[in-house]
Amino acid sequence: MTITTIPSQDLTRVMNACRNGPVFITDQGKPTHVLLSIEEYQNLTRRRSIADSLAMPDIADFAFEPPRVSIKSHPTDLT
């Protein structure tokens, strides 16, 4: 991945918008890029345990109902 750095004086308006959430850049009306604040980027790229990922408060209302599994038992011959 290539990282491009641009002086902040060129992007003041964009940086201010990033404080409120991601900023999408479009090409012919279709999103092609997204700009994030450094805090949001670090949050997305931070390595975390599976327990931390599952406990994320912003996905607490996620509906998940796994299908029930039936396990058939067979009698065991111990003779």
Domain presence at residue 66: no
Domain presence at residue 21: yes
Q: What backbone phi and psi angles, to 5 degrees, belong to 58? A: -75, -10
Domain presence at residue 76: no
What one-letter code names the amino acid at 37? S
Domain with 31 in it: 1-48
Domain presence at residue 64: no
Count of domains for the chain: 1
Residue 72 scores a pLDDT above 80: yes
Q: What is the pLDDT of residues 8-65, one digit of tens each?
A: 666 788 888 888 888 888 888 888 888 888 888 888 887 777 777 677 666 656 677 8
Enter the pTM of the model: 0.47
Domain presence at residue 22: yes
Name the nearest CA neighbour of 19 among 3, 35, 42.
35
Domain presence at residue 55: no
